[in-house]
């Protein structure tokens, strides 16, 4: 009798385990096949799409975007205009090399601030700050929505004689400030010149905080940079190339400071006509090393910045 009871108990426990295993497998299959399972871990990017003339392309949908994570194509779920307010840091070279360009720099920044901020003295949607780069990064206007305060900061841009630029230090400071503010849609815009770079920072020590901030980095360089003359100049060249391309930004080189105004206008148009593209990412403990976006149609250029994840409970 003892052996019979033991055998019966063992059979019952075995049957229960089979039933539990089958139910668990069925639940996992159902979850993977359901819309909720397919979209269980959505991610988003702020994406610019430009035509061959460099103008933003309107009225695009999910079929117009190709997003890859480590070269694996992901399903695009939805596309909408990017309406989240931006937090923008303007880095301005006011070293001795910028002296011939100061008037054009001011004029270009005034138009940019008017476009990105408020059209009057009232508060705008986007928050901006201005940092000058001569000798050491110096805040001319802290983060504000006020156009009047930003214009005052622009009026304080003067070239400093016998000074060099600390662009790399400025990028680090801007990145840390944006990270500290937990910026939702961070952007860094730098106006640089061909003058000497005095920052004592290797390029990887600049790129790391830049990427950690989640900011899109855009740079406009006036004149021809003499890269390779010094270690600092080489590091600056790497940061300008990789920092822009790897964060979804753009690098423009102009020979004349008179081109600053149209270039900043192009950038303002791009930023104010971005898309927020949401795609599906399978549940995984290991995040992808690289996320890229491309336009599905020929003749269009797309670049994007990953939307920073918000801690649970935060809007």
Q: At what angle do helices 203-213 and 231-245 cross, to 10 degrees?
A: 30
138-143: long-range contacts at Cβ-Cβ below 8 A with a sequence spacing of 24 or more? 140/92, 143/87, 143/177, 143/181
Write down the pLDDT at residue 225: 59
pLDDT tens sequence across 20-75: 555 444 444 444 444 444 446 899 999 999 999 999 999 999 999 999 999 999 99
Q: What mean pLDDT comes out for the span 286-290?
A: 88
Alpha-carbon span 45 to 115, nearest angstrom: 23
- The DSSP H or E segment spanning 205 is helix 203-213
Write down the pLDDT at residue 227: 54
215 pLDDT higher than 80? yes
Confidence of residue 4 (pLDDT cuts 50, 70, 90): very low
248 pLDDT higher than 80? yes
pLDDT tens sequence across 256-274: 999 999 999 999 999 999 9
Question: Which one has a higher pLDDT value, 202 or 37?
Answer: 202
122 pLDDT higher than 80? no
Q: At what angle do helices 203-213 and 167-180 cross, to 10 degrees?
A: 30
Q: What mean pLDDT comes out for the span 209-224?
A: 94
What is the side-by-side order of every strand in the sheet holding 123-132? 138-146, 123-132, 87-92, 186-193, 216-222, 251-254
Tokens of 62: 């999910």
Percentage of the chain exceeding pLDDT 90: 74
Q: What mean pLDDT comes out for the span 178-186?
A: 95
Write down the pLDDT at residue 228: 53
Indicate the average pLDDT of the chain. 86
Confidence of residue 314 (pLDDT cuts 50, 70, 90): low
Residues recorded for the chain: 315
Alpha-carbon span 206 to 246, nearest angstrom: 13
Which range, 4-13, 225-234, 293-302, is most confident?
A: 293-302
Cα torsion through 294, 295, 298, 300, rounded to 10: -100
DSSP-derived 3-state class of residue 308 = coil
- The closest alpha carbon to 293, from 121, 73, 96, 28, belongs to 73
Alpha-carbon span 79 to 2, nearest angstrom: 68
244 pLDDT higher than 50? yes
- pTM listed for this prediction: 0.84
Alpha-carbon span 145 to 43, nearest angstrom: 28
b/e 93-127 (16+ beta carbons within 10 angstroms → b): bbbbbbeebbebbbbbbbebbbbbbbeeeeebebb
Alpha-carbon span 252 to 234, nearest angstrom: 18
Q: What is the largest CA-CA distance in the chain?
A: 104
101 pLDDT higher than 90? yes
Confidence of residue 283 (pLDDT cuts 50, 70, 90): confident
Write down the pLDDT at residue 103: 97
Write down the pLDDT at residue 2: 43
Q: What mean pLDDT comes out for the span 70-93?
A: 96
Alpha-carbon span 102 to 94, nearest angstrom: 7
């Amino acid at each position: 009798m003892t052996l019979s009871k033991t055998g019966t108990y063992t059979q019952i426990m075995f049957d229960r385990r089979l039933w539990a295993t089958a139910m668990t497998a069925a639940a996992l299959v159902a979850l993977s096949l359901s819309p909720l399972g397919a979209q269980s871990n959505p991610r988003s990017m702020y994406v610019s799409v430009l035509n061959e003339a460099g103008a933003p392309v309107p009225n695009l949908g999910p079929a117009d975007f190709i997003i890859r994570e480590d070269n694996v194509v992901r399903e695009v779920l939805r596309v909408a205009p990017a309406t989240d307010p931006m937090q923008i840091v303007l880095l301005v070279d006011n070293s001795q090399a910028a002296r011939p360009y100061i008037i054009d720099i001011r004029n270009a920044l005034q138009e940019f601030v008017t476009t990105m901020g408020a059209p009057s003295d009232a508060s705008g949607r986007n928050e901006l700050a201005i940092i000058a780069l001569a000798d050491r990064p110096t805040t001319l206007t802290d983060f504000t929505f006020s156009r009047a305060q930003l214009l005052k900061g622009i009026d304080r841009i003067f070239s400093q004689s016998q000074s060099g630029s600390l662009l790399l230090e400025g990028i680090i400071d801007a990145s840390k400030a944006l990270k500290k503010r937990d910026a939702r849609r961070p952007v860094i815009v730098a106006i640089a010149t061909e003058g000497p770079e005095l920052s004592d920072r290797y390029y990887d020590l600049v790129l790391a905080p830049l990427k950690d901030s989640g900011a899109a980095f855009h740079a406009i360089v006036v004149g021809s940079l003499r890269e390779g003359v010094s270690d600092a100049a080489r590091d600056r060249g790497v940061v300008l190339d990789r920092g822009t391309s790897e964060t979804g930004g753009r690098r423009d080189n102009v020979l004349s400071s008179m081109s600053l105004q149209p270039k900043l206008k192009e950038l303002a148009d791009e930023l104010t006509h971005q898309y927020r593209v949401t795609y599906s990412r399978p549940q995984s403990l290991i995040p992808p090393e690289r996320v890229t976006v491309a336009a599905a149609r020929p003749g269009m250029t797309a670049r994007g910045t990953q939307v920073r994840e918000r801690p649970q409970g935060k809007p």
